[in-house]
Each structure stands twice: as C-alpha cells, then as structure tokens.
Chains A and B, each alone.
Chain A
C-alpha cells in the first residue's frame, strides 16, 4: 500500500494510532493458501482443455486409421451397383462413394443457390435499408432463433412442403437442398450482416456523392468491399451443412446408383452413405464364398466415407479461413 503523504486531521491521526494496521495484513498462511488455490484453478482450466482434446484426437485418429485402408481410387470412382453381401463386384472392388459424392455436391450446390441470395439480400435489407427499425429487430431475433432449428425439423419441413405440393412419398435432391437451405440461411445472413456492418459509411457516402444510384452503390461498392467476408462466411456455412444427415434421410433418400438429376429420383449423400453402411452392421458371406468375401466391409466403407467427408469439411473450413484472412488484411489498411 502507498503511504499517506498529507497530514491527516487530528481525529484521524488519533484513530490511526488506535488502529493496529498489522492486524489487516494478510498472514503468510492465508497468502500461501490463496496462491495454492490460484495454482490449482490454473491446473484445472488447463486440464479442461486437455479433456476436450481427447475426443477430438480420438475421432480424427480412428477415422484416419480405419478409413485409410479402403480409401483408394476405386472407392472414389465407383458407386454401389453390383455390391452383393461381402463379395467383390465385377469391377474388382467393394463398391464406393462416387454416387454419394455427386449427390453431396449437387444437393449442397442447390442449398447454396437458394440460401446465399436470400441470406445476403436479407443482410442488405437489415444493414442498408432497415438499420434499426422494429421489423429489423424482429428479423434479427428470428434469424438467431432460426439458427437453432434442429436439422431433423428442417427435414420434416421440406418433406411436408414437397409432399403437399407433389404428393406423398416424394424423394429428390432438391427437397434435400431446401432442407439444408433452411439451415444455411441464418448462418449466411448473420455472417453477411457482420461483414456489411464493417464496411465504412464513408465509402457509401463517397459513392452516393459521385451520383451513383443506391442499388449500384450497394452492389458495386458495399458488397464488393465485403465480398471476401461474405464468401468466407458462406463457405463456413456450407461446411456446416455438408455433414448433415438426418434431414437428408427423409428428403433425398438413398440409392445405390449414381443419380445426377437434382430434380427427380432419390439421391445419396456422403453422410447418409456413412449411416447406411453403419446400419448394415456386417455383410453376408455364405459358407461357400471365397477368401475375397469380407464380412466387415460395410464398416470399412463407413469409415472410409467418413474420412472423405471429414477431408471435404476440413478443406472447406481451410478455404473459408484463408479467404477471411485475405479480407482482414484489406480492412486493416
């Protein structure tokens, strides 16, 4: 503590004389106890982090080790036609994920095509037109709430919508895209809103003062300036929905052949493929089957497909982050 430099009035001085200030000094033992407690808590917080690392490391490691075995060119270039039990196909492999990769890409692309324009335009409305009026506040709140919709409910919604329009039992890729779009819109809208918020008003004014219309100011200056951020946010949103399984089970369905038509027929995606192989438990190998029949092949395929899925998700995350970093450099200058 600091010493008193001014002269306290007499009363205070007398009181000071009566007070035993040493009495308030922390004793060595309490100081030590506090220090021990501090060290203990530090250890606990560090341990919490270590606890989180265990499942992450385990998931990544087991997926890698179990999945790498069957992951070869044949696995990536074949679909599941002609796969019977644990027997190898006529083509020589044990089936693959070509149809699932095609389905995942098309359905995700469909979801992007629906959700990115809506999400970005919604952000434009919130930031460029509405700012802080009551409607904008409601929309912001509901966008937040919408981002918490369980994915299976999104699936049920798409299912209900399509079964009411096209009749019950409708399965197609677009239905899956609609379900995923519902999950993507809030993420895209929120990240775009953040990015538009960062664009300085000075740029809007500069453009308007040049006699540029508001629409062109927004599209060519504001959105152009925020573009890297919007792209990065959208990629991260895609990475989130590309691994969705439950809504696709009931909307896009599952087939063994490659379906390239988004608008008609069932379509397999990678996560659904992983689930379907997992639920097979094991493949049937009759007694007279040769050595080539592998009863554990479904699990091996599930791990390999999971590995492909994780690699896709991580690559998307990486791209999103790199784009975001480029953006950060720009706004700093």
Chain B
C-alpha cells in the first residue's frame, strides 16, 4: 500500500546556495501528485529530497522535515539507503543496467543488496514486477536478453518494474516520459494510473497536458527571479489547478503566458 508524505518547512541547499525555500506540502497516499513549474524552480530538487537522492551531489543538505507516514526521513540515525528502499525513483532517461539481462535488471534491487533469494521466488518476483509494469507480455520470451536491447518506452517500463520490485510504498518519477515517443508515453501514463492502486506517486513533468491527464493533485513551483530560491507557489487538486486556479502566477503559467 502507498504511504502519505508530509513536507514541513523544507529548505534545500546546495553548499551555501538556497535552492528551494520553505516548502509545505501534503502528498496523499495512493494518489498521483504532479509537480509543475518553469525550469529551475526546484521541482526536481524537491522530488529528489523526498528519497534523499539529492545528497549524492556534494554539499547538498536540507532543513525541515519530510514525514513518510509520520516518520521523519531526515531524523538522526536514519540511513538514506533504507529511505531509498521505501521510496523508489524513476528517472528522466531510461537507465537499465547495460551489463544485465531483463530478468537481472528487475532483480537488481534485491540482488545488489546481497539478499539471497530462491530461484522460484525470483521467478515469481520478476513476473509480478513485469506484469505490474505492463511489460510481461512483451518480454516474457526473452528475459535473458540484455535490458538495453528494448525500445525506449519498454526500457522505461523495465525501470519502473525494477523500482517496483523492491516494494517501495512511494514511487517518485522525474519527467519519466520526456525522452519517450508519444505512444510509449501513453503506455507509461496508463501504467501510472494503475500503479496508484498500490503506490503513492509523485511525478515531475514539463508537460501540463500530462499533469492534467494523470495527476489527482498538482503542485505549482515558481521562482521570483533568476538566482532566487524556488518555492511552492500553489497547490490544488488537478481540476481546480487547470480549470479554476486561485493563483495568478499559476494561471499565467498554465495558460502559457510564461515558462
């Protein structure tokens, strides 16, 4: 089942530079929440701070809280490695491991963590994850082929299967369709609609039609000027956001007048 996330007074810094200022946000369980906004507004940064992936950039740190079902991910003694097992992530460009087959890619999260797993369990897990990513029927006959031999859209769904296979409760997606053609995009969007039954989904997108199609809630990030920190400008359920936004900046952005 998906879990809810509460973000309280979150500031994200890169070294001495404040990238995102004072974000307060409730992400509902088993719903799709989209982050939209102009380039550089910090929406990807906030997304990456939800599973502490921003920390691989040297000097990056945060203040404030991110509560996953009430547990603070930034509390003392919390291992970022463990956080990332609860909160999975899918990236902009599909990035299957080039040295691994389709099957090994799905099992990567388990295998790379040195977990012993019986072959029959592994078979079940692979089938379950690939079915969950709507990929099973396309690849069931060639599980031992390299993952990078698939098409772009299939690779992205393989990456989703890989993320799902470690049983996260939340899936973060950083512009998952921006490198895909329209048909593959449609397949991934359909998949997102299904995945929300089991996971809480947060998706960053540049494409407002996509946000309108897949998201239940939408958060609009903005920045006052170049060099200023980004901030959460407006948060609403998606139909309000796109039909009747109660925020001037958001309306200007959505109607295409800037950004």
Contacts and interface: CB of A to CB of B under 8 A. Distances in A.
Interface of A: 131, 200, 202-213, 216-217, 220-221, 224-225, 227, 330-331, 333
A209 B112 contact: no
Contacts of A220: 112
Interface of B: 51, 53, 56, 58, 81-86, 88-89, 91, 93, 95-99, 108-109, 112-114, 148-149, 159, 162-163, 166
Contact of A225 (B98, B108, B159, B162): B98
A206 B91 contact: yes
A216 B56 contact: no
A210 B53 contact: no
Contacts of B96: 206
Nearest to B111: A220
B56 A211 contact: no
A246 to B, nearest CB: 40
Contact of A205 (B58, B85, B95): B95
Contacts of B51: 209
B56 A204 contact: yes
B53 A212 contact: no
Contact of A210 (B56, B58, B99, B112): B112
Nearest to B92: A202
Contact of B99 (A209, A217, A224): A224
B79 to A, nearest CB: 9
A220 B112 CA distance: 7
Contacts of A213: 81, 113
Given A216-B114, A220-B112, A205 B91 contact: yes
Closest 7 CB pairs of A and B: A211-B85, A210-B109, A202-B95, A209-B89, A211-B84, A212-B112, A206-B95
Nearest to B85: A211
Contact of A208 (B84, B97, B149, B159): B84
A204 B56 CA distance: 10
Contact of B93 (A202, A207, A225): A202
Contacts of B86: 211
A269 B247 CA distance: 81
Contacts of A225: 97-99
Contacts of B58: 131
A200 B166 contact: no
Contacts of A210: 84-85, 88, 108-109, 112, 162-163, 166
25 contacts: A131-B58, A200-B95, A203-B95, A204-B56, A206-B91, A206-B95, A206-B97, A206-B159, A207-B97, A209-B51, A210-B84, A210-B88, A210-B108, A210-B109, A210-B163, A211-B86, A212-B81, A213-B81, A216-B112, A216-B113, A220-B112, A225-B97, A225-B98, A225-B99, A330-B99
Most buried by A among B83, B85, B93, B98: B98
Nearest to A211: B85
Contacts of A216: 112-114
A202 B91 contact: yes
A231 to B, nearest CB: 13
B14 to A, nearest CB: 15
Q: Which of A131, A208, A216, A333 has the most CB of B within 10 A?
A: A208
Nearest to A133: B58
Nearest to A216: B112
Contacts of B56: 204-205, 208
A284 to B, nearest CB: 60
B155 to A, nearest CB: 11
Given A209-B51, A210-B163, A203 B84 contact: no
Given A202-B93, A211-B83, A221-B97, 10 more contacts: A205-B91, A209-B51, A210-B84, A210-B88, A210-B162, A210-B163, A211-B84, A212-B108, A227-B99, A331-B98
